[in-house]
Amino acid sequence: MAQSTNMSNSGNNNPYVHTSPLPTSSAATNRANPMGTVCDALNRCSRKVEEGTRRAEIMADNFWNHIRIGSSLADAAVARIVQGTKELTLGGPDMLFQQSFGIFPGEKLIKSFACYLSTTSGPVIGTLYVSTKRLAFCSDYPLCRYPFSQQQNQSVHYKVIVQLDQLRTVNPSSNRFNPAEKYIQLVTVDGYEFYFMGFIAYDKAFKTMRDALQHHDNHSRESLNGQEA
């Protein structure tokens, strides 16, 4: 089993963990529970499994695994619908990434992936963004306040932000008792570890993250060699 991020003390000790207070006007505070839409989405997914190719079947299996990881299947399915609605409203994942994390000069979003962050309090559903400079995760839903929050009764988005120059390795991992339960492990240069799981497109996510780190490392070496020449 993968190790988990400790949510109770991460805010005090972990420089990569951040919380973002929820604006009072945000629609997330009044989110609906569109069960009819969820059922329709799951039914469409089921039909695609029956009619699609093996690749579609694998994708559907990953989707079911994704929504089953959380404590509530309905909430996980609704989270995907809500996240898609946010992207459409803002004009795509690039704009949602910028709204959630800001943007560095020259930074470009490569891809975003639905997944869970493994924590000691249980898996947290959210979206992992891979850019040319960072790996950044944000919970889909605001979470209840944690002991390190300065204000009582405060809802916050849970975030993990690792710049590529702070990242040592990206490793594939799995549960030895259930090999189908796959993880992606991030290890920072100062020894912090994060495990992400429940990817709908696990192989693509791992390749994108690995390639982003390799490209960054190669570019950094080329820049250093250019300065020394």
| 89 compared with 221, residue with greater pLDDT | 221
**Could you tell me the pLDDT band of residue 3, with boundaries at 50, 70 and 90?**
low
Average of per-residue pLDDT across 88-102: 82
22: DSSP letter: P
CA pair distance 197, 103, nearest whole angstrom: 26
21: DSSP letter: E
In terms of average pLDDT, the best of 22-36, 67-81, 104-118, 170-184 is: 104-118
pLDDT value for 163: 97
The count of other CB atoms within 10 Å of the CB of residue 83 is 20
Average of per-residue pLDDT across 111-127: 89
Comparing 7-21, 164-178, 214-228, the range with the smallest average pLDDT is 7-21
**Residue showing tokens 């989707």:** 63
pLDDT value for 32: 45
Average of per-residue pLDDT across 21-50: 50
pLDDT value for 82: 59
Q: Closest Cα partner for 115 from 123, 107, 105, 103?
A: 123
**Percent of the chain scored above 90 by pLDDT?**
33
CA distances for 197 relative to 7, 105, 209, angstroms = 16, 30, 14
Average of per-residue pLDDT across 122-145: 88
Identify the three-state secondary structure at position 110.
strand
Average of per-residue pLDDT across 37-65: 49
pLDDT value for 49: 47
- Whether the CB-CB separation of 137 and 160 falls below 8 Å is answered with yes
pLDDT value for 152: 55
pLDDT digits (tens, 9 = 90+) for 4-28: 565 544 445 788 998 777 655 444 4
Average of per-residue pLDDT across 48-52: 49
- Whether the CB-CB separation of 77 and 40 falls below 8 Å is answered with no
